[in-house]
Structure 1
Amino acid sequence: MNLYIKALHIIFIVTWFAGLFYMPRLMIYNTEAGQQPEPARGILRSQFGIMMKRLWFGITWPSAVLTLIMGGWTLWSGGWLNNFGQHSWLHIKLTFVIFLYAYHYSLHVLLRQQLAGTFRYSSQQLRIWNEVATIFLIAIVMLVTVKQNMSVVWGLTGLVLFVVVLMSAIRIYKHARERKRM
């Protein structure tokens, strides 16, 4: 039974991350729709609003809740809670998971703002925010896979280097887009 619960946990993680990856993209498109003349702006924003609500409330939120339930069940049924103090990698992973849920909530706040017609962030800022889920995914998967064999120093160094490469890629993409407009 434990393997089925673990499999469901992984499945819901995948669907949750699908929502976390796609929601900011829709927010970016919705923000950029504001540059279009009417009636295109209204049509696009209406359609993006529908898409965002369906994705967020039909896939992302249910997947986040089911990930939490199945993850808790896996911790409990797998005996992880009995030896919790012996698994430092698990403490670090669960800390990342807490921050991931905070990120999820931040997207919820952004969604509510956009649905209300408030656009506080540029598409470039949203592109950067879009990559936060990628950073969490890499950190969590590395911790779960490598566990005790991972050096904290090497793990953090690798994560920081990944963030630097990711931010550089975003900057290069921004410059390429600006050149294309000229």
Structure 2
Amino acid sequence: MTYEHIKAIHIIFVTSWFAGLFYLPRLFVYHTEANEKPDLERTIIQEQFKKMEKILFNAIMVPAMWLTIISGVTMVYWTWWDSFAAHGWLHIKLSFVVGLIIYHFYCRKLILELRQDKFRFTGFQLRLFNEIATVFLFAIVFLVVLKNAVDWIWGILGLILFAVIIMSAVRIVKKIREKK
């Protein structure tokens, strides 16, 4: 296998992992909001969400995460190992990846709580939580594309602005829904 093969595999599994990281918190939103349904309907819907969350996490997200990590470590080893210290942008990117892994396992914690019918967060809070993966995606992609450890500061400022815009949009949509 060449570096390009590993890079392609890496991109494919990063995409798969992020698909799960975007979808799973949305399932948490629906799972939580099912509490507003009548008893029988709520029970049926929540059991279905428990099953969907488990399958998504175990069958898609966990393998995609591990294959992303393995292919990423392989790329670092093959190309930058000798000059790893010289790539400041890569260190910052890997810090964001560690944050993403923490987010991944926090999602696992939420799955386990929801299975026990523990609802710590509202649908609105989970909608905001759902945007964390988007912030990680922006940070990681900009660092990889720009390969510049200094520009990440502007990127972080942009991410903060982006997060504020997303939170505002979520609040606006919530207000529109409440009016209906």
TM-score normalised to the size of structure 1? 0.94
- Give the whole-Å Cα distance in 1 for the aligned partners of 2:26 and 2:89: 31
Structure 1, unaligned runs of 5 or more: none
Q: Is 1:143–1:150's contact at 8 Å kept on the other side of the alignment?
A: no
Q: Deviations over 1:63-82 (max 9, x none)?
A: 1111111111111112x121
Instruction: Give the C-alpha shift of residue 149 in structure 1.
Output: 8.0
- Give the whole-Å Cα distance in 1 for the aligned partners of 2:153 and 2:38: 51
- Match of residue 156 from structure 1: 156
- Match of residue 23 from structure 1: 24
Equivalences for residues 37-56 of structure 1 within 5 A:
37-56=38-57
Q: Is 1:31–1:123's contact at 8 Å kept on the other side of the alignment?
A: yes
Q: Is 2:88–2:149's contact at 8 Å kept on the other side of the alignment?
A: no
- Secondary structure, counterpart of 2:148 in structure 1: helix
- Match of residue 112 from structure 2: 112
Q: Which runs of 4+ in 1 moved over 4 A?
A: none
Q: Which moved more, 1:122-131 or 1:80-89?
A: 80-89
Instruction: Give the C-alpha shift of residue 154 in structure 1.
Output: 1.9
Structure 2, unaligned runs of 5 or more: none
Cα distance change of structure 1 residues 51 and 152 upon mapping to structure 2, 3 Å threshold: closer
Q: Is 2:143–2:149's contact at 8 Å kept on the other side of the alignment?
A: no
- Give the whole-Å Cα distance in 1 for the aligned partners of 2:66 and 2:153: 32
User: What amino acid maps onto 2:112 in structure 1?
Assistant: R
- Give the whole-Å Cα distance in 2 for the aligned partners of 1:141 and 1:150: 15
Q: How many correspondences in the alignment?
A: 179
- Match of residue 138 from structure 2: 138
- Secondary structure, counterpart of 2:108 in structure 1: helix
The RMSD of aligned alpha carbons is: 1.2
User: What amino acid maps onto 2:179 in structure 1?
Assistant: R
- Give the whole-Å Cα distance in 1 for the aligned partners of 2:151 and 2:161: 15
User: What amino acid maps onto 2:95 in structure 1?
Assistant: T
- Match of residue 63 from structure 1: 64
User: What amino acid maps onto 2:131 in structure 1?
Assistant: E
